[in-house]
Structure 1
């Protein structure tokens, strides 16, 4: 776990305030790429951590793209069998919370095969050692309820990079727990 110093915290707060000013001045200049892995029901932590901010940004006029990374979930063997149910539930939760499909885009990885095709050349740019060192992957593996994980788990950050490039996202929110990694 990475600890954040007071100076790093102030720096993050300053960057956030500057970004909020820029969004207020030109919301159409931003394209947010965000989403949630469909691994079960959403909860209040999701709402306060990210969902209400997505709706707020959408309401400001920011182009919000919400990706449901269903292909990333097939690494979770205990979740994969209920993937359709979880994906449908996630979409219904988004709609109930105010994500408006007339103003925001919501889609699943599986609906856009080109995303996975783009991931392949990206994988040729990183080594296995680099993938193994990635803090997000380490955390996912540590919290996995599996005795082993598939090679697909290592591609998680590469898949994210392909998603960002293909959607031309220029604003990719991260949680406070990931600020030190961003």
Structure 2
């Protein structure tokens, strides 16, 4: 597996960032769904949100690295669309990829604004704190809470479209779209 992207394949940094961010986002989504259903007396009622905030904060720092990935993409070629990809598929892929860069940032910023609405910093596993930089907005916690939930569902929906497209190319078109992000450029049998 090569380090840099080529016009035929993704490089190792792009592949690792893709899967690490995907794992983190889906894990946080599941944790968020689970924790919002806990009652006050559940032993995880306070711990789950702390865990969600800490993992989310670390993932936010990783997503900032993803912005570096955008820079990496500018310096590296991007694997080109395969000849069997129709123009509408290429357009849809570009739009979905742009949303997959934008939505995680918006989800994480809204989550940060929920957590810091009362002026307290966000503790990240007691390793360090993210200071409350913006507080005092009218109904900040409630508004950002609704926005956070809406954006999270939008992100998961966009990821589902992205995944569906990759699976369609793999199982129906029998091309290497999916295997490229898995680190292989071998043709399907």
Bigger relative contact order, structure 1 or 2 (CA pairs below 8 A, ≥6 apart): 1
TM value normalised by structure 2: 0.28
Q: Normalized against structure 1, the TM-score is what?
A: 0.29
Asked which structure has the greater CA Rg, the reply is: 2
